[in-house]
Structures are given as structure tokens and as C-alpha cells.
Copies of this chain bind each other. A is one copy, B any other.
Amino acid sequence: MRDRPVVPVKPAVRRTTIAVDVVVLSPRVDALAVLLIRAPIGARERWSLPWDAPQGGEGLEEAAARITGAVLGASPAFFEQVGTLCDGRRHPGDADVSVGIAALSPAGDGAPVEDAEWFPLASLPAIAPRHRTIVDRAAAVVRQRVDQSPLAFRLLPPTFTLSDLQGVYELLLGRRLHKASFRRALQASYLVEPTDEWRSEGRGRPAQLFRYAPKKRRGARRGVRFDLFTE
């Protein structure tokens, strides 16, 4: 940083190869799952993330929607970029640049095509190093933003019980939450509204169904949080 000589930059674009790599996440039996596709014979790894290049005139999230639709039959309504990579790590299509995108899909939506399968986030098979990085980033981003973005609601059907919702939060955060506290905080947030439907799920009292319906509330936030944790 010591007074480096000022080199005038003559900026110019550069031709490279690019890929959109999609981490489709969905809550499966008690764990978040990622959708992988079987790689062609001869590839270094047997599985990979769904990916493709954006087509002409197509935005990145649009491309992610197309790719997901092709593999899952349903297209999630929520995407979030988790970082763009341009490093030495290997990509299955040898793209120079990879745009990582997380796609959130409710539990019941769509079904994987023949060569695709859900894998619990915690026990993935071997995938290309760059895909590994993208999956890890997607998990980190989702965990980090869960309380600032309506991520959890995108992993649930349009109506859900509060226990469902709490379950998703517990999946994302990786820890148990206290029922009464969770509900009180949710109440105060005006993020959901009750429907007049109830769901009976076998044993136990039936639960009321809610829907995501955030009320306008201007950000009159309080002091600083310093929620920074050094691992």
C-alpha cells in the first residue's frame, strides 16, 4: 500500500466464458437439501450443481429460473446471488467465471427429473471444487440473511402452520427455538396473517394456517447490534 505508482488504467472489456450455477435448496426430512444432477460419463465427479450459460438477453436470475425449471419441473419464485467466482477452482464446464445463485423451493414443489436427486446439505457426494464453494456460500448466505429477508417463507407453501415456520427457521439457523418466544417475536413483526383454515395432522390439536403478508412498517429500528461473530 506504500505509495504505489499510479498506473493509468485503460479499461477494456474482455471475453470470457461464464456459467450460472444454481443451488436449489428445499427442506426435506429434517434437513435442508440440495438438488444435484448426475454428471455425464467421463466427468471427474459423478454429480454437479445444475448449471448453464445465460442465453442472449437473459438476466442471471432468469437463467437460474430456467435451469431450475428444467431440472425440477417447477420454478421457484425466489433467487438470491451468493457470489461470483473467478478463481482457479475447477468448474465442470471449465467456465472462467461462475455466478452462484441460491434458489429456494417449498417442500412439495415439482419433482426432480430422472438424473437429478436431493442430497442433504450435510452429506453431499463429491462435486467439482468450485461447486463445493458455491454450495457452502449459499448455505452461509441463507443462514446469514434469514432474519432480514423473507427466505423462510420461500421454503414453505403459500399457507403453513406456525410450527412449520418455526421448523424452517430451526433448519436454517441450525438450532432449536423456543415456541413462545418465536411466536411473540413473529406477532410483533406483522409478517404473517391467519387464514380461517385449520390443519389436522394426525394426532394433536389442529393448527391454524397462516400466510405470509408483511404489513408496512417503517424502519424505526433501535440501537446497533454488533452481531458480528468471529468464528
- A residues in contact (CB < 8 Å) with B: 1, 3-4, 6-9, 11-19, 50-55, 57-60, 67, 69-71, 73-75, 77, 81, 83-88, 92-95, 97, 99, 109, 113, 144, 146-150, 169, 173, 177-178, 181-182, 185-186, 188-189, 191, 214-219, 221, 223-231
Contact = CB atoms under 8 A, between A and B. Distances in A.
Contacts of A146: 224
A45 to B, nearest CB: 14
Given A191-B226, A216-B230, A218-B229, 15 more contacts: A1-B74, A1-B75, A6-B73, A8-B70, A9-B52, A11-B19, A13-B19, A18-B18, A147-B224, A147-B227, A177-B224, A188-B226, A191-B228, A215-B230, A217-B229
B214 A221 contact: no
Contacts of A228: 147-150, 189, 191, 214
Contact of A189 (B69, B147, B226): B226
A14 to B, nearest CB: 3
- This protein's copies in its complex: 2
A147 B224 CA distance: 7
